[in-house]
Amino acid sequence: MEKYFLDAGTTWSKILTVKDGKKAYSIIRTKDLSNYDVEFEISTGHTLSKVKTKKTENEVIALSFGAKEIKNGVILDLGSRDAKWVKFENGKFKDMDWNTNCASSTGATVEMLLKFYEINSDDLIPTNEKYNVTCGIFGLEKIMDDISNGIDSKIAISKFITGIANNAYNFTKKPDKIYLSGGFCENSRFTDALKFYTKVELLGRFVLVDGLYNIYSENLFKGRFDKKIKVTGPDYLHDPSGEELIIEEID
């Protein structure tokens, strides 16, 4: 019997199908989720109203269990809408953060820019120059100002992407290495820019669904309904759902 697990992103949704112990991964546009007529065992993400799911889980917890083989390091998930990371030391939870507010730390602004200027990300011109922006809107203003003053649009967007890489490095508290999860793994321009600041290892786009499967298969589901998850770490994380959540230590 097939089991399904879902990471429902703003633009793209990642699906893990498990049958007879074998895993199969797929990516579909989130707008098409309503046409995907299955019931998921556990789901996570921003757009779960379109699906049938038995249980839901917090994204940071899914990320943590998906990357639990990394005993020491920072795991950053960078996608279309937000950025989140967790840090482990000797297999134990150490630190975390989640940015759901600033578009300059996410892929939505980059996708919009590439589409507007009809540029493929592989055609961008690498540069270690950057825009020092903390907001995607201000970044757009700087890009358009530079382009109107004669700067090649490929260079301007590359400077913006390098700025995002710098933001990601600072957001994760300047680690010696970042394990990168999410859609930005497939943007070589971004990964090259991130390497200006730190070592980078790519984990791909399916870390969260792998985490959901690990939670399911190890019977570790904690749930996210009308109750708060027990706090076992040093700080609170305010999830967009309004609940106060924090991950447990992972052995």
**Distance separating alpha carbons of residues 238 and 97, to the nearest angstrom:** 9
Residue 150 lies in a domain: yes
What are the two backbone dihedrals, phi and then psi, of residue 10, each rounded to the nearest 5 degrees?
-65, -40
Which of 143, 164, 185 is the last residue in one of the domains? 164
Containing domain of residue 36, as a range?
A: 3-58+207-228
Which residue, chain included where needed, has tokens 């297999």?
Answer: 91
pLDDT digits (tens, 9 = 90+) for 140-161: 788 889 999 999 999 999 999 9
Total domain count for the chain? 2
Residue 114 lies in a domain: yes
Residue 110 lies in a domain: yes
Residue 182 lies in a domain: no
**Distance separating alpha carbons of residues 229 and 221, to the nearest angstrom:** 11
Residue 40 lies in a domain: yes
The CATH number given to whatever domain includes residue 41 is 3.30.420.40
| Confidence label for 137 from pLDDT (cuts 50, 70 and 90) | low
pLDDT digits (tens, 9 = 90+) for 160-169: 999 989 999 9
What value does the mean pLDDT of the chain take? Answer: 83
Length of the chain: 251
- How many CA atoms within 13 Å lie on the side-chain side of 21? 0
Residue 39 lies in a domain: yes
> Mean pLDDT over residues 198-223, rounded?
88
